[in-house]
Structures are given as C-alpha cells and as structure tokens.
Structure 1
Amino acid sequence: MNSLAKPLQRRGILLRVTPPSTLRNRHCFCKAQIAQLRGNSKVKSFTIRPAESDAELRASATLRAESFYTYPPERSFAGKIHQIMKGDEEFEALKEQRDLREAGQPNQKSACLVAVCPAESMQDVQDASSLQIIGDEALLGTLDLYAIRAMPGEVLIGDCSNPAYLANVCVAKAAQRQGVGRELIHSAVDLANQWRTEALFVHILWVNDRARMFYESLGFRVDKEESSNTAHYRGHCLEGIEGRGRTLMLRRDLP
C-alpha cells in the first residue's frame, strides 16, 4: 500500500485557500528541504517543494489516482480507465486550488508538496517505469497541507483554534521505504509551524495499521476515532463490510 492517508473527498466542495508568503518564493522554501540519504537507499537524494506548474499538478494527480484506487487483475482494464478519470478530477481540483491561491484568500492557507529527484537517477530502480516524469525529474511522493477549521467530508475535527491537516499523502511504489514519506511529513510540519498552527492532524482508515505506525513514529497520536455506527450511516465500507471503513484522526502538537 503506497497511500499513507485517506484521499481528500472533494466532490461538491471547493476549498478556498491561499498560500503563505513563504510559498511565493519556491527556492527560498526549498533550500533546506533537500534530503540526503545514505546506505543502501535506492534514492540518494531528492528535493521537496510546493507544486505550482501544470506538469507538477498533473503528475501529483496521477500518482494519487494510482495510489488510492487499486483493482484486482481481472478488472485491470476498467480499473485503468477509472484511475484516469479520477486523475483528471484531481488535476482540475488542484488547478482550482492553485488559482485561488494566486487570487489570494485571507486567513486560509494550503500547499501541495512534491518530492522529486533527477529522473536519470531512477533508471535502474525496480518499478521506475511507473514513475511520473516532470521534465527531467521523477515524482517520488506528494501530499496536501491545509490550514482550515475542518476537512471536507470528515466528521472528526481537530480540537484547537488553529489546526492544520494533512491529506492525500502517497509515495510512488518505486520510492517506498526510502524515507520519502517521512521527509514529506517533516516538510509539512515545518510549513505548518511557519503558518503558526497549533496542531497537525491526519485522517486514516481504522484498519490501516501501517499508516498508524508510520505516523506514530513521527510523533502523532490517536486523537479521535469514528464509531462503527457513524461509518455505517455515512455509507463507508471496506471490502464490502459496512462500518469497516471507519476513520481514525491522529494529532501532533506543534511548538
């Protein structure tokens, strides 16, 4: 599983968000966000930056569609069509958010972060052919960060006056277990601190033990848990079982 957080439910909802001044100068934000990895890592170094160009947003949207929507082999053809459709929807949503950031909306902030590395450095890595390419770079992972009161489509809301939320956290298969996800979260924490938010929250599926352990290793703790009845009435199912798709919300307090 290469998705580390639930996908943001966007249907019928338009988030009106604007970036902080730090995102105006992408190089200023990125200069300290270059991870140098050692040992047997397949990915020796990569850069984390805010995504703004159409190419960056398209690659991010495609990776998310491939991460959050998977299908059995007998449905591979129909599944691929569905992934393309979901990728197109996500791309349009990301462009709308970018346009709203550029227009400027007061008191709300967002960022789409991407982890990229030189594409040529991934040529000999297994599953490298599935990586999304942006010019001469390969996309390794992506996430969204929002400073808003509550996330659309979620019933669990952070109990603080100035929360931030992670969403759409995913890492490409070829780059998993290389520290990409951890560095993306570290960058999101840094940015949330720059926004002066009080705590960082993320929603995950209750059954996603891997994601829970990942976030707990980064200082998050379980804050709230959706009941089976609530998940049932919202129609959330997993593997055909009503209520099995219930949500956990994790929290990390920020200094």
Structure 2
Amino acid sequence: MASASRLLPPFPPPAAPTSRHTTLRAVPRSCSLAIPSLRCRASAPAAVDAGAPLLLEDRAGAVSIREFVTLDELHAAVRLRVRTFYEYARGTVGAEDHRKGLAEREYEALQNRISGNMINFRRVSCINGTVPMLPSLMSAEELCSTCKFVEDGEERIVVGSLDLNQCLWLPDELTGKRPGVTESSHTRAYLSNVCVAKELQRCGLGYALVDKSKKLARQWA
C-alpha cells in the first residue's frame, strides 16, 4: 500500500524499502499490554561480534522513549530510517548522495505532517528511542556517526523511531463501509516508519516504542 508517510525516493533506490503501517483502533483504558523490560547489561566493546546485537550498560535512564524534542533529534531519526529501510551493495556508486537525498525529502515531509500542513493528517508525532554515547556502542561506529544528535551538551544516538498518525483517512485506502467504524470517527490512528537499529534489535526497544505510542494515542482520543 502506498503511503504519504513512507520515505519518498528522488529516483528508484537500489533496493526496495521495507516499511509497514499498523492501524491502531480505540483501546479501552482497562486494557493493558505486557511490555518486556529493556535488557541492559554491561558489555565490553571488544567482546561484541560484528553480527551480534549490542548490549547497553546497566545505567539508570540510559534508554529514553519519548516524543522528539529538537529538530536535530528529528534529523537523526530520519537518518536512522534511511539507514534501516535502504541497503546498498558494497561499493555502490552514488549511495551516499542517494541517502542524503532521501533524508532531506523525508525530513521535509515529516515536518509538514507534524506541523499540520497535510490536510488528511490531524495530528502526527515522531516517537524516538535514544541512548547516550555509551562505551558499549563504540563498536557501532557507523550507527553513532549517522544517528547522533546533541541535546543540552550531551551526545545521544537515536536507536529506534516511529510515527504516530491521527488522520481522517488512511493514505490510498479503499473507500466503503467499514464494520464498527463510523465515517465521522476522528480517533483513527496508525503507526508508520517503525524501525530499530539492527545493532539493538531483540532488546525490547520495538515493544517500548509501540507501548509509548499506544499511551499517546489514548491521550489524543
């Protein structure tokens, strides 16, 4: 399904993007979802295998799951998405320029959605998972350099991101009767651009991002 919220390539990318949209329905406040705790424990950089997921130190408050705060953080989130959704063969000519073009276009499109300049989007929020520049991340040099931003003098890395969208209709959806949903409903929401850095997958970050988006969606309802 094509979507206005997907990354918009300036020309056909070397590899097809992998992006999914998930529709959220109104959830009763009494319902709850068990979210596993983020697994954070000490790990020396030298002990991290190139193909193994990284582990975060056991540092209180190391992982922050929240709505974006600064434009610098928003830029970093967009760069993480481009890094996650598009892969290039080693030595691909023009790959870096293509990444920059994708990031610029998605950043502009995301700003338009958040600021309310796109008519069918009533409200949009970018939710990120960020961590400080920890010693255990030193082995992920490319992730740190690509997805880094500075906040209050501290260097942080965006390691997970998604968009929560409240809209009048889903982009390119088929029109018609939908069981249980009235045409006047303005509480529909869906998730887009859901991603977690490959170095930190299977650590509970995805669950935490979705849980945060559900709580925010209930506040919007």
Q: TM-score, normalised by structure 2?
A: 0.62
Offset at residue 155 of structure 1 (A) = 4.4
Give 1:127-206 correspondences, 5 Å limit.
127-131=140-144, 132-135=147-150, 136-155=155-174, 160=181, 161=185, 162-196=187-221
Q: CA RMSD in A?
A: 3.1
Distance 1:68 1:169 in 2: 10
Distance 2:86 2:122 in 1: 29
Distance 1:8 1:55 in 2: 20
Residue 123 of structure 1 aligns to which amino acid in structure 2? L
Q: Decide which structure has greater strand share.
A: 1
Offset at residue 92 of structure 1 (A) = 1.1
Aligned to 2:5: 8
Q: 1:115 touches 1:184 (CA, 8 Å); kept in 2?
A: yes
Q: 1:128 touches 1:174 (CA, 8 Å); kept in 2?
A: no
1:9-47 CA distance string (max 9 Å, x none): 476xxxxxxxxxxxxxxxxxxxxxxx6535577134401
Residue 173 of structure 1 aligns to which amino acid in structure 2? K
Change over 3 Å in CA distance of 1:66–1:117 after alignment to 2: same
Aligned to 1:205: none
Offset at residue 192 of structure 1 (A) = 1.1
> 2:39 aligned with 1:37, yes or no?
yes
Q: 2:131 touches 2:158 (CA, 8 Å); kept in 1?
A: yes
2:134 aligned to which of 104, 114, 120: 120
Change over 3 Å in CA distance of 1:86–1:93 after alignment to 2: same
Residue 167 of structure 2 aligns to which amino acid in structure 1? I
1:94-147 CA distance string (max 9 Å, x none): 22234338xxx9x922210011111135434x4243231111111111100011
Gap runs ≥5 in structure 1: 1-5, 12-34, 197-255
Aligned to 2:76: 59
Higher relative contact order, structure no. (Cα contacts within 8 Å, ≥ 6 residues apart):
2
Q: TM-score, normalised by structure 1?
A: 0.55
2:95 aligned to which of 79, 90, 93: 79
Offset at residue 154 of structure 1 (A) = 4.6
SS in 1 for 2:116: helix
Q: 1:140 touches 1:175 (CA, 8 Å); kept in 2?
A: yes
Change over 3 Å in CA distance of 1:156–1:115 after alignment to 2: farther
Residue 159 of structure 2 aligns to which amino acid in structure 1? L
Q: 2:38 touches 2:204 (CA, 8 Å); kept in 1?
A: no
Offset at residue 83 of structure 1 (A) = 1.5
Aligned to 2:19: none
Residue 113 of structure 1 aligns to which amino acid in structure 2? I
* Paired positions, count: 163
SS in 2 for 1:170: strand
Q: 1:7 touches 1:68 (CA, 8 Å); kept in 2?
A: no
Residue 37 of structure 1 aligns to which amino acid in structure 2? R
